[in-house]
Amino acid sequence: MTSFNLRQVKLRPGEEFRDELEVELPAFEFGGQRYLPVPERIPAELVVTRATTGTVFALAFTARLHGPCYRCLGDAVLEVPISAREYQASSPDDEELTTPYVQADQLDVSGWARDAVALALPDKILCRPECAGLCPECGKNLNEEPHVHEEEHGDPRWAALETLKDGLG
Ligand SMILES: [Zn+2]
Ligand SMILES: [Zn+2]
C-alpha cells in the first residue's frame, strides 16, 4: 500500500508540491482473466496544488500489465498511461467536493492508482490490435497458422449466437 501523508505538505493558496512516489499495483481481474502489473511498483508523479477553496491532486504514471490475450490467449502486454485528478474542498459541505482517496490526512495513492487503471482498461486486452485469434473449428492459433477450413458445416443459428456473444464481450 502506498499512501501519502498530507500533513507533511504545508501549502498556501497557489502553491504546489511535487513528489516522485512508487505506487504499488494489485493484479487486475478482467474478463475472467488475471493481469499482473510488471513491475508491481512503478514510479509515479504526484502534484498537490493548493487552491483557495481546496486542494487539487494530480497523479501520473504508466502501468504495464501482463496477461492472456482475449482472442488467442497468448501473452499480451498492455501499457496504460494514467493522468488522474482529484479535488478535496477545504471545508466540504458537499460530498461531491471530496475525494474518496483522502481519509484522515492520508492520500490513498495505491487505491487511487488501482481505480484509475481499472477505468482506463480497454474493452478487450489483445496481444496486438489485429490478433486473428483461435480457429473456431480446430482451436489452433490463427496468428501462427493462418488457415481456413474447406468444409462449411456452420449452423446459421450458431453464427447468430456468436455475433451476439461478440457484442457482449
Ligand atoms: Zn492474441
Ligand atoms: Zn482451424
The DSSP symbol for 20 reads: E
At 100-138, the pLDDT tens digits run: 999 888 999 999 999 999 999 998 999 999 999 999 999
**101 CA distance to ligand 2 middle (Å):** 49
Q: What Rg value do the Cα atoms of the chain yield, rounded?
A: 22
**59 CA distance to ligand 2 middle (Å):** 46
DSSP string, 101-157: TEETTEEEHHHHHHHHHHHH--SS--SSTT---B-TTT--BTTTS----S-----HH
- Residue 32's pLDDT band, with cuts at 50, 70 and 90, is confident
**76 CA distance to ligand 2 middle (Å):** 22
Burial of 157 (0-12, 13-18, 19+ CB in 10 A): exposed
Sign of CA dihedral 32, 75, 131, 63: positive
Spell out which residues have Cβ within 5 A of ligand 2, the ion: 135, 137-138
**85 CA distance to ligand 1 middle (Å):** 33
**31 CA distance to ligand 2 middle (Å):** 24
pLDDT at position 134: 96
